[in-house]
Amino acid sequence: MTTPVFRTEGLTKTYGDGPAAVQALRGVDLTVPEGEIVVLLGPSGSGKSTLLNILGGLDRASSGTAWFRDTELGTLSDRALTRYRRNHVGFVFQFYNLMPSLTARENVDLVTEIASDPMDAGEALERVGLGTRAGHFPAQLSGGEQQRVAIARAIAKRPTVLFCDEPTGALDSSTGRTVLEVLTAINASLGTTVLIVTHAAATAALAHRVIRFADGSIRQIEENAARLRPAEIEW
Amino acid sequence: MVSALDRKLGRDLWRIKGQAAAIALVIAAGVMSLVTMTGLVSTLEETRAAYYDRYRLAEVFVPAARAPGTVADRLGDIPGVAVVETRVTGLGTLDLPDLTRPLPARFLSLPPSGQPALNAVVLTGGRMPDPAAESEALLLDGFAKARGIAPGDRLSVTLAGVKRQVRIVGRAMAPEFVFSTAPGEMVPDDGRFAVLWMGRAPLAATLDLDGAFNEALLTLARDADPRDVIRAVDRLMDPWGGQGAYGLADLPSNRFVTEEITGLRGSAVMVPPVFLAVAVFLLYVVIARMVQAEREQIGLLKAFGYTSAEVSAHYAKLVIVIAVLGALVGIALGAVFGRSMAGLYQQYYKFPFLVFRLEPATFALGIGVAVAAALAAAALVLRRLFALTPAVAMRPPAPADYSGLAGRAARLMAWLDQPARMVLRRVLRQPGRMAASVAGIAAGMALAGGMLTVMDGFTRAVVLNFEVIDRSDMAVSFTRPVSGQALYELAHLPGVLAVEPQRSAPVRFEAGRASYRGAVTGLDRGAVLNRAVGTGMETLDPPEGGILLSRPLARILNAAPGDTVTLTLLDGDRRTLRVPVAGVADTLMGAPAFMEIEALNRALGTPGQVNGALLRVDPLSADNVQAALKDRPGVAGVSVKAEARAAFQTMLDSGAGATRYSMMILAAVIAFGIVYSTARIALSERSRDLASLRVLGFTGGETAFVLLGELALVVLVALPLGALGGALLASAIAAGFSTDIYQIPATPSPASLGFAALAVVMPALVSGVLVRIDLARLDLVSALKTRE
């Protein structure tokens, strides 16, 4: 078995305190092997985004430990977390989070200029099928195209792991399928571990591994023996 | 029953209380400056008018050598004259035990009835003197306080060459001595010039004026032309040594009060509009963005079926509440501040009472401007939002469209990294907003720079006048013109290093229709202690023939080199001279005119005479020199330059000049307000972009660059504009302050521009740091989840 890229033990996260406290994670133990596509499924508020944020270095756990390879994330300073995000982590969000004042190519360059071993921005855009739209500003792109720019921006640094929080949440089904195809292609060609948070259960069919969440803990982990290609997924 | 919308209004106000308070405070500052300054001006004008009226200040002053008492009736017969009062007056000296030199003092008579019909006095302590008592006197309140003299004290005075003791029985103020200036001095100084009132009989006996008077006071009928009256009075008084009647406008004390009020009014007209404009700008920016942030709620309200008018009314109420609150706070602060400023002014001017006035028009103006600006800002944004369907309005706005900028500044862009491109494109996309921020900050800097330049000008005026133009240490004045021999005696006093003659004569200058009461000064060629100087502070030797006019005098007379001016001598034989203007001299104090000393003496028919001397004195022997002068007959007074300089500085620091400090502080506050609120709003508007950058792996510092880079660019562009605006404002304010009494140069120095830039850059840096701290606290997760 390959070394896990992520490992957690007894991870909890509580927001607020006193009677208003909300327990988002209630002791999560998890191992994510390198190079897989992992889908985190579950209803809203089940804790899957919280887990993603902690693993992505955007948030800190209340207790328990989370390792990225040999590094315990909880021990990192803010500066070290920034370095971790800069060099290892790519993010894709539901609302794309592109800079409106930069073109598609410049949005990608935003990352290539600070990453240690980036690919060319043009190559990243080719991989998401937007090689010809590099000079367009976000306002000139459709939602699906904007999300693909966001993916290009996320992969341009050759991240170890790609976090996608509801990447198809704001898209129609055919556009969503295109985005998922890009994500599986990246995983296949670059070996990037991809973590996808979604509540669209159908997405699970393309994953190596599916983790089901409910009420802040893991209910079930299953490995997909027969993965479907995104084109085969029923929405 | 409070409607649901009104409850929302209350809660919204509470939710945005910090922002609302910031907006309200900016409005308050603008309105406060308006209310304070205009209130101060009208308070001073009203108080002066009431003081003059209540204590019956004369409108025409008629000095003469000696006129029989019966002439008073003939003065009363002149058409246009309403009331006539006569008095006897003389200049003498006061010998204070703790002072090594005599102080000049003016003696005035009081009628047997006590208060005169005109130019009454305000008793502020003690009692009125007994009209028949030979040695009882009232002392001018300001002088008594400055010298610590109380009723019951005895003073040694010299009048008409006779030394005697007087007993001070009371202290008094008088409308003709709001400011008291010693003869021959430019600047009023409480402690260096005394005024004493005594019974008429003893004073007339001393001055040899029994049954006569040497000054008449007149008030005029309502429709009388003072110029006609003065002409008739001068004709009548000519046989009695009339020295030229003059109107209230030429009374030195009144001239000072007028100049001060004029200077204040200039500031009151120029400064509050700048503050208000800045406040309006801020209000517009903040409210526009505040309403923009309500976009989704507005869509929701419209989805519920509220009409655009109802939604508009709701937001109009919100901004009106803020604007009116701000304006009310400004009015209240303005009233309080104006009241305390007026109190300070009352002490400075020595008004016995204060008629405090606020201009209700400024209240209405303040509220009106604030509400109008708030409504305009809200209306502009609401109109854009109403153009959207409720469904669109409830969705987050589409990404701002930058495609129009695709090719713009491409060459420059190629040199820049992505964060720098973001900064530049934002600025290029909304040049109007950029221009507004630049204008606001430049206005803040202009205020600071203008004020600093004026302050610099004041300092420069003091330094130039007391170190470059007048380099003497003491000025001695004689009771009457004496032969040049007196100078040799002065030169031989131990400690006196150099002596230069002074010859001056009071004259009326006339050119065309313009006239001015002043003095002409005779200068030695090659004089070094007192000089006429040109624009570059180079010495201008007095011309062989003709007269050098100071710039303010040339302006008053509208005369240029080559023109001829008429000089009418105001004492002696009142002869008239016609003299060509040989040149114009630059001065910073007064409106003097210079002639070559012997040319002046020839014209006056007094060859070889002087009526004063300038001394340079060994500082260690200064006291001895003063003591020696004290006992010399014929010395009317000694003025020590260091004291004159201190008096000038005091005048600049108290009166109208003092407002410049408070304006400086207000300017810095406003600069900070603009920069900080611009930065803070940019932060909240762009928190999503900034959080995205953080998530992409940008450090806090790199992310801050995107936000603060824009601000830095705005500040950098604003600096030169602020410097220019400051220079313009300074020359306008300096022109307002500059009078024929003193002139304020308004040349911006690198130092004042540097400090003004600091006044903008420092708050910018501080707000940068504050925003940077806010940025570090940015919650990445929630910033990403929020849909704008």
Is B713 part of the contact surface with chain A (CB cutoff 8 Å)? no
Q: Please indicate whether, in this complex, the C-beta atoms of B780 and A58 are within 8 angstroms of each other.
A: yes
Is B409 part of the contact surface with chain A (CB cutoff 8 Å)? no
Which residues of chain A have a CB within 8 Å of the CB of B425?
Answer: 101-102
Cβ B629 vs Cβ B637: under 8 Å: no
Residue A209 backbone zone (phi > 0: left; psi -120 to 50: alpha; other: beta): beta
Q: Please indicate whether, in this complex, the C-beta atoms of A101 and B401 are within 8 angstroms of each other.
A: no
Residue at A181 is within a domain: yes
Cβ B167 vs Cβ B135: under 8 Å: yes
In the A/B pair of chains, how many CB contacts fall below 8 A? 99
Q: Please indicate whether, in this complex, the C-beta atoms of A114 and B702 are within 8 angstroms of each other.
A: yes
Is A45 part of the contact surface with chain B (CB cutoff 8 Å)? no
* C-alpha B53, offset from chain centre: 25
Q: Using CA of residue B550, residue B555, residue B557, residue B562, what is the dihedral sign? A: positive
Q: Is A116 helix (H, G, I), strand (E, B) or coil?
A: coil
Query: B788: how many CB neighbours lie within 10 A of its CB?
Result: 16
Beta bridge partners of A89: A161
Helix (H) or strand (E) holding B582: strand B576-585
Taking residues A137-156, what's their average pLDDT? Answer: 89
Which residues of chain A have a CB within 8 Å of the CB of B781?
Answer: 53, 58-59
Domain residue limits at A98: 34-62+77-232
Fill in the DSSP letter of residue B401: -
Could you give phi then psi for residue A6, rounded to 5 degrees? -130, 145
Residue at A17 is within a domain: no
- CA distance to partner chain A, nearest, from residue B399 (Å): 5
pLDDT of residue B329: 92
Residue at A126 is within a domain: yes
pLDDT of residue A212: 92
d(CA B256, CA B267): 17
CATH number at residue A53: 3.40.50.300
Q: Is B162 helix (H, G, I), strand (E, B) or coil?
A: strand
CA angle (B371 as vertex; B365, B372 as ends), nearest 5: 85
pLDDT of residue B406: 60
Is B414 part of the contact surface with chain A (CB cutoff 8 Å)? no
Q: Is A11 helix (H, G, I), strand (E, B) or coil?
A: strand
Residue at A216 is within a domain: yes
pLDDT of residue B50: 94
Sheet holding A209-214, edge to edge: A89-92, A161-165, A193-198, A37-41, A209-214, A217-223
- Which residue type, as a one-letter code, is found at position B261? I
Could you give phi then psi for residue B509, rounded to 5 degrees? -85, 140
Pick from A56, A97, A146: which is nearest to B692 by CB? A97
Q: Please indicate whether, in this complex, the C-beta atoms of A100 and B399 are within 8 angstroms of each other.
A: yes
Could you give phi then psi for residue B717, rounded to 5 degrees? -70, -35
Kindly list the distances between the CA atom of residue B289 and the CA atoms of A211, B294, B378, in Å, as whole numbers in the listed order. 43, 9, 9
Beta bridge partners of A164: A92, A196
Give the relative orientation of helices B700-737 and B659-685 as an angle to the nearest 10 degrees: 150
Q: Please indicate whether, in this complex, the C-beta atoms of A82 and B781 are within 8 angstroms of each other.
A: no
Could you give phi then psi for residue B211, rounded to 5 degrees? 70, 10
Q: Please indicate whether, in this complex, the C-beta atoms of B702 and A135 are within 8 angstroms of each other.
A: no
pLDDT of residue B296: 73
- CA distance to partner chain B, nearest, from residue A86 (Å): 4
The tokens describing B164, both together, are: 């005697």
Sheet holding A4-15, edge to edge: A22-33, A4-15, A63-68, A71-72
Q: Beta strands of B128-211 (E only): which ranges?
A: 136-140, 154-159, 162-173, 194-199
Q: For the segment A31-84, what is each residue's pLDDT rounded down to a tens digit?
A: 999 999 999 998 888 888 889 889 988 888 999 999 999 999 999 988 888 889
The residue with tokens 């007894």 is A10
CATH 2.40.70 domain extents, chain B: 496-617
Q: For the segment A180-206, what is each residue's pLDDT rounded down to a tens digit?
A: 888 898 899 889 999 999 888 888 888
Pick from A83, A101, A106: which is nearest to B429 by CB? A101
Is B686 part of the contact surface with chain A (CB cutoff 8 Å)? no
Residue at A28 is within a domain: no
- Half-sphere exposure (Cβ direction) of B175: Cα atoms closer than 13 Å: 19
| 51-80 of A, contacting B, C-beta below 8 A | 53, 56, 58-59, 78-79
Q: Is A201 helix (H, G, I), strand (E, B) or coil?
A: helix
- Which portions of chain B are predicted below pLDDT 50? 787-788
As separate numbers, helices (DSSP H) first and strands (DSSP E) second, chain B gives 24, 22
Could you give phi then psi for residue A93, rounded to 5 degrees? -110, 165
Q: Please indicate whether, in this complex, the C-beta atoms of A82 and B422 are within 8 angstroms of each other.
A: no
Q: Please indicate whether, in this complex, the C-beta atoms of A101 and B694 are within 8 angstroms of each other.
A: no
Is B4 part of the contact surface with chain A (CB cutoff 8 Å)? no
pLDDT of residue A44: 83
d(CA B228, CA B240): 19
Among A157, A113, A107, A169, CA closest to A135: A107
Q: Please indicate whether, in this complex, the C-beta atoms of B780 and A146 are within 8 angstroms of each other.
A: no
Which residues of chain A have a CB within 8 Å of the CB of B696?
Answer: 85-86, 91, 110-111, 114, 153
Q: Please indicate whether, in this complex, the C-beta atoms of A101 and B696 are within 8 angstroms of each other.
A: no
- CA distance to partner chain A, nearest, from residue B414 (Å): 11
Residue at A40 is within a domain: yes
- CA distance to partner chain A, nearest, from residue B323 (Å): 34
Helix (H) or strand (E) holding B629: helix B622-630
- CA distance to partner chain B, nearest, from residue A24 (Å): 14
Pick from A85, A86, A101: which is nearest to B402 by CB? A101
Residue at A100 is within a domain: yes
Closest Cα in chain A to B401: A139
Which residues, in sequence order, are CB contacts of B309 under 8 Å at separation 6+?
none
d(CA B369, CA B346): 31
Number of domains in chain A: 1
The residue with tokens 């800045």 is B278
pLDDT of residue A228: 84
Burial of B598 (0-12, 13-18, 19+ CB in 10 A): middle
Q: Is B622 helix (H, G, I), strand (E, B) or coil?
A: helix
* B154-159 vs B89-95, strand pairing mode: antiparallel
How many residues are recorded in chain A? 235
Cβ B215 vs Cβ B72: under 8 Å: no
Q: Is B585 helix (H, G, I), strand (E, B) or coil?
A: strand
d(CA B319, CA B378): 8
Closest Cα in chain B to A146: B399
Fill in the DSSP letter of residue B589: B
Is A109 part of the contact surface with chain B (CB cutoff 8 Å)? yes
d(CA B450, CA B190): 31
Q: Using CA of residue B746, residue B750, residue B752, residue B756, what is the dihedral sign? A: positive
Question: What is the residue-averaged pLDDT of chain A?
Answer: 88
The tokens describing B547, both together, are: 């007269």
pLDDT of residue B487: 85
Q: Please indicate whether, in this complex, the C-beta atoms of B697 and A93 are within 8 angstroms of each other.
A: no
Instruction: Give the CA dihedral B612, B617, B621, B622, nearest 10 degrees.
Output: 50
Pick from A86, A87, A97: which is nearest to B688 by CB? A97
d(CA A34, CA B244): 108
Is B302 part of the contact surface with chain A (CB cutoff 8 Å)? no
Pick from B401, B688, B784: which is nearest to A137 by CB? B401
* The CATH number of the domain covering residues in B496-617: 2.40.70
Is B174 part of the contact surface with chain A (CB cutoff 8 Å)? no
pLDDT of residue B395: 61
The residue with tokens 């708050």 is B763
Fill in the DSSP letter of residue A165: E
Q: Is B227 helix (H, G, I), strand (E, B) or coil?
A: helix
Residue at A225 is within a domain: yes
Is B689 part of the contact surface with chain A (CB cutoff 8 Å)? yes
d(CA A168, CA B299): 25
d(CA B442, CA B631): 61
